[in-house]
Amino acid sequence: MDIDKVAETLDAHPDFRVLRRLRISDAHVFAENVGGEPCGRLAVIDTETTGLKAEFGDRIIDLAIATCEYGRETGRLYRVVDRYESLEDPEAPIAPEITRLTGITDDMVRGQRIDEAGVARVMDGVGLVICHNARFDRAFLEARYPAFANKHFACSLEEVPWDQWNMKSSKLDYIGFRFGLFHEGHRARADVDLLLALLAQKVPDGEQDILSVLLASARAPSWRVHAIGLPIENKDYAAARGYRWNDGTFNTVRAWWIETRDEKAEREFLKGIGCKNPKVVRQTAHERYRSLAARADTEADKATADAHADDK
């Protein structure tokens, strides 16, 4: 039996959908750079952790990094050029629910340590870090390796329009199924490989690579808008628009806030509900997805720099 022919036959039938096991090698080639396009380096990273909050002491227990070469002009993913992966002992028992999710046990991590020199090696020359939940992963990466504070980040969860492509979920496993791919387990390496495979796919009904869509988003600015002075009776209007409440933890701004790609529209909205002087902070891929604590430091430094500029 020719399995490939059987799969092709089933795939062509409207009543069947074929899934293929994901196989990404350590030096995988996604496409040949036949035109000699200028290339950059990016890193796709995933972490498994003991919990959800790096700022409250949760720790990385599994780290996977794949450094890749991509075309600066086309946004095409070409090849994996380096990898690093390791477990790490969090020096505390792993919660049963984390073990159920990841398969990682206390015995597996006991005495294990992520090699900082190995991380530095694989990250050398990387201009962009991609995670499928950069808001989560960046906080843990910066807490463990302060050098990540100087990296640019992009988020395939928030910056790729999966919903516009009729994806009912933005979870990696589901998206993989929609592209005919599957993997087993919830380890960092498996999720990195699945995200690599998805970034190399064409957008549905289009010719662009998904990576090119993400790169365009990462290169564009966004704004974090704090609705300072918003009348309390209008908070429901803000919440309905997607604003979230920040209680001032870590000396951040105590206000309703949102992140947007359309600063003008947000200012107009707030003006209409009685917020005349919002605090608006411009963000690039360098600042986006930072933790509350890190963001507070950055915004305080920026405010000080702006004040000094005004004095001059």
User: 68 with 171, same domain?
Assistant: yes
- Per-residue pLDDT at 17: 87
In three-state secondary structure terms, 90 is: coil
Residues 6+ apart with CB under 8 A from 97: none
Indicate the pTM of the whole model.
0.90
User: 150 with 270, same domain?
Assistant: no
Task: List the 279-283 sheet strands across, edge first.
Answer: 244-246, 255-260, 222-226, 279-283
Q: pLDDT digits over 137-175, tens only?
A: 999 999 999 999 999 999 999 999 999 999 999 999 999
Q: Counting beta carbons within 10 angstroms of the beta carbon of residue 44, is it exposed (0 to 12), middle (13 to 18) or buried (19 or more)?
A: buried
User: 195 with 237, same domain?
Assistant: no
- Per-residue pLDDT at 312: 42
Tell me how far apart the alpha carbons of residues 264 and 209 are, in angstroms, rounded to a whole number.
30
User: 119 with 26, same domain?
Assistant: yes
Residue pair 222/92 in contact (Cβ under 8 Å)? The answer is no
User: 246 with 194, same domain?
Assistant: no
User: 99 with 215, same domain?
Assistant: yes
User: 229 with 207, same domain?
Assistant: no
What's the chain's average pLDDT? 92
Tokens of 235: 């908070």
User: 279 with 163, same domain?
Assistant: no
Predicted confidence pLDDT, tens digits, the chain (312 residues): 788 899 889 989 989 888 999 999 999 999 999 999 999 999 999 999 999 999 889 999 999 999 999 999 999 999 999 999 999 999 999 999 999 999 999 999 999 999 999 999 999 999 999 999 999 999 999 999 999 999 999 999 999 999 999 999 999 999 999 999 998 777 999 999 999 999 999 999 888 999 999 999 999 999 999 999 999 999 999 999 999 999 988 778 899 999 999 999 999 999 999 999 999 999 999 999 997 667 665 555 454 444 444 444
- Per-residue pLDDT at 295: 67
User: 56 with 155, same domain?
Assistant: yes
Q: pLDDT digits over 18-33, tens only?
A: 899 999 999 999 999 9
- Per-residue pLDDT at 183: 87
Number of domains in the chain: 2
Tell me how far apart the alpha carbons of residues 46 and 186 are, in angstroms, rounded to a whole number.
10
Domain that holds residue 235: 222-311
User: 147 with 282, same domain?
Assistant: no
Tell me how far apart the alpha carbons of residues 138 and 289 are, in angstroms, rounded to a whole number.
7
User: 197 with 57, same domain?
Assistant: yes
Q: What is the DSSP letter of 93?
A: P
Of 184, 219, 254, the position where a domain reaches its end is 219
Of 194, 219, 244, the position where a domain reaches its end is 219
- Per-residue pLDDT at 252: 83
Tokens of 211: 């990576």
Of 200, 219, 238, the position where a domain reaches its end is 219
Exposure string of 114-137, with b = 16+ CB inside 10 Å and e = fewer, is beeebbeebbeebebbbbbbbbbb
Q: pLDDT digits over 32-59, tens only?
A: 999 999 999 999 999 999 999 998 899 9
CATH number of the domain encompassing residue 111: 3.30.420.10
User: 64 with 208, same domain?
Assistant: yes
- Per-residue pLDDT at 306: 46
